[in-house]
Structure 1
Amino acid sequence: MFFNAKTAVIFSLFISNFMFNAHGSITKQHFELVHQSADISLDGHVSEAEWSHATYIPLIYQNEPNERGTPPVKTDAYLFEDGEYLYVAFKAYDPDPTKIRAALRDRDDLWADDNVALMIDTFNDERTGYEFYVNPLGAQGDMRMTDINGWAEDDSWNAIWDSAATITSEGYFVEMRIPFTALRFPKSQQAQTWSIAVWRNYPRDVLYQTSNVGFDWNVVCSLCQFDKITGLENVTPSRNLQLTPTFTALRHDEKQSVPGPWQQGDIDNELGLDLRWGITQDAVLNATLNPDFSTVEADSAQLDINTNYSLFYAERRAFFLDGASFFNNNHFDLVYTRNIADPDVGVKITGKTDVHSYGLMLSDDKNTSLILPSNQGSLLVNLNDESKVAIGSYQLDIGNQHSLGLMATHRETDDYQNSVLSLGGAYWFNQTDSVQYQLTHSNTSNSLFLQDTFNLDEQQSDTAYKVEFYRENRDYELFASVEEVGKDFRADLGFVTKSDYKKYLVGGGQTWYGDENSLLTSWEYETDWDKTYAQNGDTLEEEVELSVLLKSQLQSYLRVGLIHRDEFYFNDFFLQNIAYVQAGLSPTKDLKLTLYSSVGNKIDYTNAELGDSFEFEPAITWDVSDHLQLILSHQYSKLETDNQRVFTANVTDLRAYYKFNMRSMLKLVLQFEDIDREQAAYYFPVDKRNREYGSQLVYSYKINSQTLFYLGYSDAGYQDDSLRYLEKDQRTFFTKFSYAWQM
């Protein structure tokens, strides 16, 4: 008998170690949150008597660049609540306040500055939470965070809260006042326990990060290592109702022919209303009527030449951003709300009760667009029809770290519909090892337009799945995955650009550490191999990649990588060897430089040939003063085949921000794209010259993320071979006003 008693003992010890709870070895501090009546003047001076009676939390650990090291500077945090607000203060001492890095910033734009933060897990489930940041001049940043399959942050979430800061001869002081209506937490008449970390980012020649929590880098989860704070017996129940009426007015002018005269458009006035109702402390209803989804922040310029897949653009619209994390899933982007382009009405409910998280969103869309995927590229298609949209999600928390989730999406018009159902989750074997999975099925009924134009069957139905294994700790990582997407799989409300493939991947890496005074503060390598097949078994791609990352002084980094890829495209294989470099540094506290560059062989997807490619993408961020910031980025790309140039492309994006004060700002965006093609290199007629131009000038006044005023102008133009000069062909004048009433 092979399985004897000794073997059984060894096997049981192995299993018990393998299934070890990741939280068991972590020592946590426990704090009691003080309740007191508040008479706080939010001025950043931390001088009121209430602070001397508040809960005191010192930041005693350095977590970056050293694990559980000694902080280079002293920082103290103070907290209390008055039943309506959570008050937080920081005293961030500095031996040389002249080196403090800060400027007047727009919301969520302070990450490179000195800053302090409160991080709280209000459900104490060690899975999700909130982050509130303030820099030394009072600029705010806030985020939702999840820690289910590794730490992930979403800075698109915006709450309404107050803060103030002041720089002193000792360093800088910060005060925060966060209304409980901005948070979601369990409904209870008893004392609650939350997970908590207070944080300081101290950027100098290296970035120091200090906290009350000393993180064990061999434990993947971070929220599970947070300290605990208990209290909140006196939180006053609130209806938590917010109404935000919106008024917008715009005039859009066009030229019917270029060059030619302007055709002045009509002034379009719109009234809208957004509602946010905290039904309970842990469930929120959002509704929007006649929403204004006008873009007041131009998307970053992206070079869209020689790519056969659709480009991704981030969501910026408030209705879709609130509670967006409830609609995230493990591996496939099944919800990409920018596909809902022009709704008249939308309603959404999101919440969490005990171990159950849920979300439901209903909307219409007058401008229905979708992505048609394949293993050779994707197409963005507009149906020129109005559709109805429904999205539902549910997640069950299992144990300390495991999860199981369901998601369904549905979109339909009179003669078309697409439905997707997904099951996914994560299982943690121990502190470092996890397996994550997602299984998805779609059903599609195509309209006659889609059938005739794109040669699609009337009915399409298929599946997609992905399974990943991770081992991640302080010194090394291992990972492997298998994924498969059927030929007829479609997620028309998501961002799934590739189908008809199955892919296998395996890889790993290792890291070594210096200290804050070393020339190299850390260095690492990572390598992986993957192979992709079509559903019929034909090979699509085989790739090996190796990269080395070095981190050093002046917050500098250098990554050098090599890619060896054999890719099938248009009935042929193309062997590509590519070298790339990524680098960045901050030579002064006001200047940040980054660079990406690559050289090697790449496919010319337009002509199905192998070419020699060179890409060069520098960027600079310069804080000219506390008020003025300039961000300049450029993309240069060149492709040649058989010693013949195919194209040269340049894209420039310049952004200038002038902050009069924390509420008032003037923003200028200039974007220019110039593509010069060698016509003899193409098998079909193309313009030699393709230029596009866009500009935007916006004045904004923001009391908070919902109460604001915009006044702006934007225009765009182009030049092709039919034009001698760059000509503007559209322009827009717009204004927007919204006011958030909280009841």
Structure 2
Amino acid sequence: MSANASVGIEALRLQAGEIGVRIDGRLDEAVWQRAPLFDRFVQFLPQDRQTARWRTTVQVVVSEDALVFGIRAYDPAPELIRAPLARRDKVLRDQDFVSVVLDPVGQRRSAQFARVSAAGVIADGLFNADDDSEDFAPDFDLQTAVQLLPDGYSVELRWPLAALRFPYADGAPWLLMVTRNTPREASTLDVSAPLTKDSLNFIAELQPLAGLADLVEQVRERSFLNIRPELTARKERESDPLSQRNQRELSLGLELKWRPRADWVIDAVINPDFSQVELDTPQLAGNTRFALSVQEKRAFFLESTDVVGQSQSDGNQDQQSLAAFYSRAITNPDWGLRATWRGASAEATLLSMRDAGGGEIFRANAYGTRTLTQSMGSRASFARARQQFAIGAQSLGLALIASQRDYGAGASNTVLGSDFAAPLGDTDLLRGHLLASSTSAGFDANDHLRRISAETGHKLWTEWRRRSEDWNNSAQYEQVSPRFANDNGFVSQTGFRRVTAQLNRRLPAQNLAAPALGDWASLEAHELELQLKLMQSQTLNDPQQGVKAGEVIERQVQPGIWLAAARNTGVWGHLGLDQQRARSGGMLHQPRTLNLGFESNPNAWLTLLSAELAWGRRLDVEADRLGRGASLMLQAKLRSPLPWGAWLELEQQLGQSFVRNALAQRSFTETNAQTLAVLHLSARDSLRAIAQQTRYQRLAEANLLAADERSRHLSLVYQHRQGLSRVLSLGLVSALDRPAQQRNTELFAKAAFAFQP
């Protein structure tokens, strides 16, 4: 029996002692014959408001300790199903997958999600409504199985109640949406809820999961404890032309997660090994004086990131959400403790860690970021509490924030503030934050940390966003005083005010023809937008840095166009009719650039091809002059099956940026390259190799010294993984920096085993 789409999906509650589901992907147990069946999917991408092309069915069974989803994806051409082995969290739109988006709080502010590919690979994380973004960093202890069938594939997903975060009492009904991705010519995404592109975010139309009855009351008192010891053996060699140092280390660490009842989660770590197994992707940074952020990957910081307010998505981070708390500012903790509480209309988290040091501290101004080394240990603490208020038919989320980094001897940085988010009907969102800082941690001429007289500052940011069938617009205002600092956050620029407006006019889709492109001859334009970005940034008065108020730092006028077409293809371009100043008192230059971009999922073996180009008259920031130049980023991802059932995953990224001087010579050239190859021996075993190179060259000119800085990083890691509970890693990492000729070689073995006493 099919449920009506307006009613949503209904679950079957199993009685105590009743035989449940064996997770094998077959959907052949007797309970599946009794569970209500839902099959009223609609298309969301590439075009919404249409009936789904392929049939998908969903059933839900609720046992004493888990939700079990049974999903059947029918396909008239099963030979075209794309089911490669891939890394966890790399289930993207180039693959066939189904996903479950679940909001146990029932407020549509955030949702946990799990994607399961047709090969059984998991990608999971947290969706944040305010940012309309997916964060794949959090991982949940899920169990899945998939069966490929003559007419499609079937999926069983077991989601333990211990992995869900919901209020102890007075909670709203749990909300759910199931999606299915089919990467063919049209690359469709079907959804079980009536979601449209003019919705404010992807989880705006989640529907109640019926049939749970008194589930929350029955399980809210249950306590779950997960203990995860880890043992790391490491042999390291560091050398330069004058010395060599060898070191061996055997360390034992412990991670603990305790949920005493439904609304509380306690996390603790002792001597964690937070060394990154995967290198951060290189970024072009030579032509800017501002620091760049990198994505968080460490499990301790990823519990309930929506409560922390730290939102990030792979390759598309929201910098504003990192201003209050940026977990990568904490580098090498000796221990850490965190408590998170989630109620029906309120939530809070408190974190405290002892950081042994070695990380970076930012001190910024209007024209750049001063990056300093944390040479001593510190105590890092952060707290955030948010309350949801009902105002008529609308709601207001208001949060209080407190952050402190204490270096001892009276040197510290303290931040207090508030943030808010207020949806205004179905089309508008107003949000922002106000932070105030007091800093007595300064640096002397040799960049040594010392106590100074307290300096105060503030940061104000607010955004209005409107999304409708015809428009997708936003406006922002930001003001950061010169002495604002947050050593637990990401602050790359201070001493400015900025106004930004983004206007996007949606036009009806059209068919485009390009006969010279062969297979690409007829592209159906699913979405077409005319875009205009306007921005102006000006300095605030900063006598300490010799900066006068009212200088234009940057002014942008950027008309452009964006097109979405077949094969999940996106094409965009805009003109940069900008003005830019490199330093205080310097000339206000007028760079003129043409910016073009392209990305697509061409076929089953070339799963991603992307390119971004900026070309024209560009500003050489260090030389403070304009010159002909370009910036180019290329990326390709390939997947290929191997004869013995294994899969090869290959990713290549290349980037280069340069600007020429008046003699047509390259004033500077920055180049980076990363090759990543993963041999998936099985669903549990993989061998990963990363080769990464960066180079920065500058020509000797009037007031500039010649430079040629190069680095090379190599990484080879074998990993055996059984979910989140058992992980064994064996690896070799090598790094070389020139011209200092500093070499670092590390051989390591790491084993982690989780158990529930």
Q: TM-score, normalised by structure 1?
A: 0.91
Q: Contact 1:339–1:493 at 8 Å: present in 2 too?
A: yes
**Does the alignment pair 1:381 with 2:395?**
no
**In 2, Cα distance between the equivalents of 1:153 and 1:181?**
22
Equivalent position to 2:184, from 204, 222, 232: 204
Q: CA deviation at 1:323?
A: 2.5
Cα deviation 1:26-65 (Å, max 9, x = unaligned)? 9831444211234422221111111111232214211112
Partner of 1:156: 137
Q: Contact 1:79–1:87 at 8 Å: present in 2 too?
A: yes
Partner of 1:672: 693
Q: CA deviation at 1:255?
A: 1.7
**Does the alignment pair 1:696 with 2:686?**
no
Partner of 1:548: 561
In the alignment, structure 1 segments of 5+ residues that lack a partner are 1-25
Paired residues for 1:252-271 under 5 Å: 252-257=236-241, 263=244, 265-271=246-252
Aligned-partner SS, 1:266: strand
Partner of 1:110: 91
Paired residues for 1:552-567 under 5 Å: 552-567=565-580
Q: CA deviation at 1:232?
A: 5.1
Paired residues for 1:319-468 under 5 Å: 319-328=300-309, 333-367=323-357, 369-399=360-390, 400-415=394-409, 416-447=411-442, 449=444, 458-468=453-463
Q: TM-score, normalised by structure 2?
A: 0.89
**In 1, Cα distance between the equivalents of 2:655 and 2:44?**
35
Partner of 2:612: 596
Q: CA deviation at 1:355?
A: 0.6
Cα deviation 1:461-488 (Å, max 9, x = unaligned)? 0111122222211211232222110011
Cα deviation 1:69-105 (Å, max 9, x = unaligned)? 0111111011011111111111101111111112111
Equivalent position to 2:155, from 174, 197, 203: 174
Aligned-partner SS, 2:618: strand
Q: Contact 1:151–1:221 at 8 Å: present in 2 too?
A: yes
Q: Contact 2:83–2:95 at 8 Å: present in 1 too?
A: yes
Q: CA deviation at 1:674?
A: 3.0
Cα deviation 1:344-375 (Å, max 9, x = unaligned)? 01000112112111010000111153101111
Percent of paired sites with the same residue: 22
Alpha-carbon spacing, 1:464–1:264, altered in 2? closer, same or farther (3 Å): closer
Equivalent position to 2:233, from 246, 249, 255: 249
Aligned residues: 706
**Residue type at the aligned position of 2:7:** Q
Partner of 1:637: 657
Equivalent position to 1:122, from 84, 100, 104: 104
Aligned-partner SS, 1:103: coil
Q: Contact 2:10–2:59 at 8 Å: present in 1 too?
A: no
**Does the alignment pair 1:734 with 2:712?**
no
**In 1, Cα distance between the equivalents of 2:322 and 2:718?**
38
**In 1, Cα distance between the equivalents of 2:278 and 2:377?**
26
Aligned-partner SS, 2:73: strand
Cα deviation 1:211-252 (Å, max 9, x = unaligned)? 221214333244342221231525544321000011001011
Partner of 1:532: 537
**In 1, Cα distance between the equivalents of 2:53 and 2:9?**
24
Q: Contact 1:83–1:232 at 8 Å: present in 2 too?
A: no
Q: Contact 2:110–2:306 at 8 Å: present in 1 too?
A: no
Q: Contact 1:28–1:228 at 8 Å: present in 2 too?
A: no
**Residue type at the aligned position of 1:42:** I
Q: CA deviation at 1:597?
A: 0.9
Equivalent position to 2:119, from 117, 120, 137: 137
**In 2, Cα distance between the equivalents of 1:224 and 1:522?**
21
122-131 or 655-664, larger mean C-alpha shift: 122-131
Cα deviation 1:618-658 (Å, max 9, x = unaligned)? 11100022611100010022211112321223211000001
**In 1, Cα distance between the equivalents of 2:684 and 2:202?**
34
Q: CA deviation at 1:729?
A: 1.5
Cα deviation 1:152-204 (Å, max 9, x = unaligned)? 2211010111001021111111111111001112225x997211111101111
In the alignment, structure 2 segments of 5+ residues that lack a partner are 311-319, 512-521, 541-548
**Residue type at the aligned position of 1:704:** G
Alpha-carbon spacing, 1:711–1:603, altered in 2? closer, same or farther (3 Å): same
Q: Contact 1:65–1:515 at 8 Å: present in 2 too?
A: no
**Residue type at the aligned position of 1:245:** P
Alpha-carbon spacing, 1:467–1:266, altered in 2? closer, same or farther (3 Å): closer
Q: Contact 2:582–2:622 at 8 Å: present in 1 too?
A: no
**In 1, Cα distance between the equivalents of 2:190 and 2:484?**
46
Alpha-carbon spacing, 1:604–1:221, altered in 2? closer, same or farther (3 Å): closer
Q: Contact 2:60–2:67 at 8 Å: present in 1 too?
A: yes
Partner of 1:12: none
Q: Contact 1:192–1:232 at 8 Å: present in 2 too?
A: no
**In 2, Cα distance between the equivalents of 1:676 and 1:192?**
58
Q: Contact 1:451–1:458 at 8 Å: present in 2 too?
A: no
Q: CA deviation at 1:683?
A: 2.0
Alpha-carbon spacing, 1:201–1:401, altered in 2? closer, same or farther (3 Å): farther
**Does the alignment pair 1:656 with 2:677?**
yes
Q: CA deviation at 1:458?
A: 2.6
Q: CA deviation at 1:450?
A: 7.3
Partner of 1:474: 469
Partner of 2:516: none
**In 1, Cα distance between the equivalents of 2:485 and 2:677?**
40
Alpha-carbon spacing, 1:248–1:487, altered in 2? closer, same or farther (3 Å): same
Cα deviation 1:12-34 (Å, max 9, x = unaligned)? xxxxxxxxxxxxxx983144421
**In 2, Cα distance between the equivalents of 1:448 and 1:497?**
17
**In 1, Cα distance between the equivalents of 2:624 and 2:577?**
19
